Structures are given as C-alpha cells and as structure tokens.
Amino acid sequence: MINDKVILKCVPECLMRLCDTHGEIRAAYSALLEVVPTHLITSFSRGAEFFQPPNGRKGVEGVRNCKGTWHARRVHMTKQSQVTFHGHHFKAIMGFIMHGYSPSKHLPDDWLERMYHSCQHRQLPISETRDHPETHPLLMSHLVCNCDTVLWFWATYESAQYCLLARLRTPLGMPAETFTAIENVLCGYAQEVESQDGRHLRDTPSNFSGHMGAGLGPRHYTVHLRAVLLLQFMEHLDKLMYNAYEGSCVTLPPVPKSVRTFFRKNIETCLQWLSHVRPYIVSIAIHAGMPAVAIRHGFAALQDLRKVPRSVEFFRMLVQVVHALLLTEDFGAIRGVGTWTKHMIGSTPPWIIAAEHQAKGSYETACEEYIKALDVMTHSPDISDPTMSAINGPIVSFIINRVCECYVRVSEWKEVESWHSHVVALQEQFAHSPELGRAFHLHYDINQLSAMSSFESGELGIAREYIDNTSDSRYPSRDPEVFPLWDPSQLLSTSQTL
C-alpha cells in the first residue's frame, strides 16, 4: 500500500501535465490521475497555484508547477516588447479566436509552439544562480513547451500588444474597423447566450467553419477555447490601453511616445468603446465559466451606469454581477452590492438578500426569500407595464433558476418537479408579455431532474426512460454539429447522460 504522502507528490505534476501541448502526454497523465484516490485529488481543488515543486529540482526546473506558470506570465508582462510579433502572426491567431480558422489544415499539431519560437530573439545562456527561478528571464521559454495554458497566454497577450504598438492599425483594418470587428464577435457570442434556441443564429461565432485538426482538439473544446481566449485578449487589451493613456507605475513597461500620444488623444473613444462592449463581456464570461472576469467588467459597467440607476441596463447588469459573485460564493461582496444598490435606488432588492443566503450555503432560507420576492413581483399592479417588464425580466429569470439550483443542492427532487410545474403555470399566465414570457424559462432539463427523483425512489426503469429522453433544455432545436455548446456546465450535463 503506497503512502498518501507519496501519492500527493504526483498530483501537482499530473495537474500540470493535463495542460501539456502534446496530446499523448495529456492522455498518459489523465490515465494516471484516474487511479489516484478521489479524496487526494479534491484536496487540491482550491489554491492550486500554491503547489510546491517536488524535492530535488533546482532553478527554473523547480517552478514547473501552477505557481510557476503564474510567475512566467507576470515576468512576460513586465518585459519590454521584442517587436518580433508581426501582422501575419496576429492574423493567424485572431483568425482562430474570432472566426475559428486555423492557419492551415496541413500544419503540424505544434504550430503555435513553432510560432512562439520564431518570435524569440536568440538569447545567451544565463546562469541560474544569478536570478531567482520565479523571475528567471527564460522561465516563459522553459514552460511554454510543456504548458498549453502558458502558450495561449503568450498568443493572446502578444496579439493585444500588437494592437497597442500598431496604434490599432491591424490586419482587421484601421482603428475604427479594428474596434468594430472585435465588437461584432463579442456581440455574436452574447446574442448566442441570450437566445433561447439555436434558430436564426447561423452566423454566430460558435458556427465553427474553419479547418479541423492542426492540434485544435475536439469541436466542443475548440469553441469553448475560442470564447475563453477572446476574453483573455480583451483583458490584455484593456490593461495595455490603460497603461498607454494613464500609465501603471511599475507593473507594466512604458510604451513608446508615439503610442502614448495616440491613445491619450483618443482616450474618450477607447473608454466609450470599452463601456459599450462590457455588457457583452460580462454575459460571455458568466456563460464560459469565468466569473472573475465578469465581476471586474461588471463593476466597471455599473460605475458607468450609476447615473441611470433605474434603467433596464442597470438592473440587467446588476443581476449579472450578483450571479457572478454567487458563482464565487462571495456572500460578503453580495452584501456590499446590496448596500451600494440601496444608496442608488433607496432600498436593497430582496432577491439580493436571498442571493447572500445562497452564497452562505443557507439554501432553505434562500429559497424562501427568492419565492417571496417572486411573489411580490408577480402580484405587482405594474407588472405588465412594458418598461417594468423589461426590468423584471432578467430578475425573474435569475430568481426561478436560483430556486431550482437551491433545491438541487439539497437534493429535493420532488420540490424541483413541483417548482418546474409552478414556473410553467407562470409562463402561461404571462404569455402576453414577451419579456416575462421568455423570462419564465428554467435552464435545467426536467428529464434529468425527474430521473434523479425516480432513482431516489428506487424506480430505476422510469429513471432510465427519463435519461433516454434527456435533451438540452436551453437549446432544444439546436443541432450540435452546427452549434457546439461552449458552456462548461452544459458540457458536463451532456457527458453525464452518455
């Protein structure tokens, strides 16, 4: 019997190798991870970046772990640009991120790694004793050959930096055209999130029309990867533009004078564009499983909307920010948002109080508060007013899905079925209102929930029938060959029924 302490030393290496650039290595370490006891794997689910390197490793080799990848990215961001990343590199990377095009179907699987090395200056050997491993100038080059995450970070950061240094004159067009091209892709992803089905959406970014192969992985993975990379690119572009027209002290290197002059002259245009695309970014980030990105951009959007605190846009963004905070289970931040909202509109919405209880893990209390808030809204005399319907629509959708989520967390399957019936009745009651009619839509497949209820009751045959009838409740008419899913929870749900 192998001691747990010995097995624990293998877990960080396995987790690191799951992001390896070579598929056969990922498969081998994935198979190794399958035989590791579950309680040892789950103990590393949080704070993975604090792994310590195995004993005996020295220098740069000693930081080939999750913490090392963070330091590699930080060191790369603090270095001056080598100006070796050119327009054809930008076109290849952004062509994949924005439109799903790989450079060529005849390229080898390591085309991105080859691109990285082609953009590097020849460096003289540096003694590892001169620099701390975490700030070693060759740390990025050492990790990029073994970590897909670091490689894509380099690609998105260099693409954003190319936009900056070229003063937004890119293969996408002049500055205005570059902004418009990026915005159109963001808008396409956001429209896909908001749509109740896949009809009329054949021009969205998920319509993967590029070459398969070239190391891009399975189709579902590729579409989700593109959404994540687009968010990474926007994060880098936002920070770099801020550094250009405001400066960031010592965290990012100063930009050339011509670039700084250009962005300071056009600061209002850049800020207006960012303000315009932030709602798209927040929506995409929540859907793609990146709540931290949604929170940052959501707070910035709320600051822009604080002058119109009773507008439809304000409440829509408020719901999304609370949802993102709920995904991180940060009840203190939710309470702070509630206090801030009280200053804006005069009172704290009851559904924010319910979200705070849910983030704490008090699911029964949260359910009661959610249901009370929904009851007040549905019996309000101005519920049918067009303006109020537009405001209440996102709130209603948030409430009904959070109630279902709370029931699922405590495994109250009968209550879930009863809640589903109640939501269907409300949907019929408010069918005359387009906004509210769309809002009463659960993001859960009732067949899966009924299957769990039957399984718990011991009715295995009925549970099997429900599983066989399981379909994607959010996109019932969507052809997965045309519109691959890129929501992690939906991918997990699909895998659970295979």
Query: Using CA atoms, how far apart are residues 33 and 41, in angstroms rounded to an integer?
Result: 8
Strongest mean pLDDT among 10-24, 313-327, 369-383, 474-488: 313-327
Query: Using CA atoms, how far apart are residues 89 and 14, in angstroms rounded to an integer?
Result: 31
**Per-residue pLDDT, 480:** 47
- Asked whether the predicted pLDDT for residue 298 surpasses 50, the reply is yes
Query: Using CA atoms, how far apart are residues 482 and 469, in angstroms rounded to an integer?
Result: 21
Q: Looking at this protein, which amino acid is placed at residue 275?
A: S
Exposed / middle / buried, residue 168 (Cβ in 10 Å: 0-12, 13-18, 19+) = buried
- Asked whether the predicted pLDDT for residue 103 surpasses 90, the reply is no
pLDDT average, residue stretch 62-72 = 66
pLDDT average, residue stretch 302-309 = 91
- Would you place residue 110 in the very low, low, confident or very high pLDDT band (cuts 50, 70, 90)? confident
- Asked whether the predicted pLDDT for residue 447 surpasses 70, the reply is yes
Return the percentage of the chain with pLDDT > 70, whole number.
Answer: 79
- Asked whether the predicted pLDDT for residue 55 surpasses 60, the reply is no
**Per-residue pLDDT, 60:** 47
- Asked whether the predicted pLDDT for residue 390 surpasses 60, the reply is yes
- Asked whether the predicted pLDDT for residue 183 surpasses 80, the reply is yes
For residue range 354-381, list pLDDT tens digits in order.
999 999 999 999 999 999 999 999 888 8
- Asked whether the predicted pLDDT for residue 52 surpasses 70, the reply is no
Q: What's the sign of the alpha-carbon dihedral 170, 173, 174, 179? A: negative
Residue 215, φ and ψ in degrees, nearest 5? 75, 20
**Per-residue pLDDT, 130:** 47
Rg (CA), the chain: 25
- Asked whether the predicted pLDDT for residue 456 surpasses 90, the reply is no
For residue range 195-242, list pLDDT tens digits in order.
754 444 555 666 654 544 444 555 667 888 899 999 999 999 999 999
Return the percentage of the chain with pLDDT > 90, whole number.
Answer: 43
**Per-residue pLDDT, 88:** 92
63/292: higher pLDDT: 292
Q: What's the sign of the alpha-carbon dihedral 138, 144, 145, 151? A: negative
474/431: higher pLDDT: 431
233/492: higher pLDDT: 233
pLDDT average, residue stretch 342-360 = 95
379/183: higher pLDDT: 183
Question: pTM for the whole thing?
Answer: 0.85
Q: How far, in whole angstroms, is CA 384 from its chain's centroid?
A: 34
Q: Please, are residues 203 and 193 in contact by the beta-carbon 8 Å criterion?
A: no
**Per-residue pLDDT, 65:** 61
pLDDT average, residue stretch 1-14 = 76
**Per-residue pLDDT, 62:** 47
Q: Which two tokens stand for residue 233?
A: 């690119």
- Asked whether the predicted pLDDT for residue 104 surpasses 70, the reply is no
Beta bridge partners of 173: 170
Residue 173, φ and ψ in degrees, nearest 5? 135, -165
- Asked whether the predicted pLDDT for residue 474 surpasses 50, the reply is no
Q: Please, are residues 39 and 28 in contact by the beta-carbon 8 Å criterion?
A: no
pLDDT average, residue stretch 287-305 = 94
Query: Using CA atoms, how far apart are residues 50 and 44, in angstroms rounded to an integer?
Result: 10
pLDDT average, residue stretch 268-273 = 96
Q: Please, are residues 237 and 231 in contact by the beta-carbon 8 Å criterion?
A: no
143 Cβ contact partners less than 8 Å away, ≥ 6 residues apart = 64, 68, 69, 72, 150
pLDDT average, residue stretch 238-260 = 88
**Per-residue pLDDT, 489:** 67
Average of per-residue pLDDT values in the chain:
81
**Per-residue pLDDT, 128:** 45
- Asked whether the predicted pLDDT for residue 54 surpasses 50, the reply is no
- Asked whether the predicted pLDDT for residue 40 surpasses 90, the reply is no
**Per-residue pLDDT, 111:** 81
**Per-residue pLDDT, 485:** 60
**Per-residue pLDDT, 263:** 95
**Per-residue pLDDT, 207:** 60
- Asked whether the predicted pLDDT for residue 168 surpasses 50, the reply is yes
For residue range 13-37, list pLDDT tens digits in order.
777 777 777 778 888 888 888 888 8
Query: Using CA atoms, how far apart are residues 444 and 279, in angstroms rounded to an integer?
Result: 24
Question: Cα separations (Å) of 169 from 174, 180, 272, 274?
Answer: 5, 12, 18, 18
**Per-residue pLDDT, 42:** 73
pLDDT average, residue stretch 291-303 = 96
pLDDT average, residue stretch 26-53 = 69
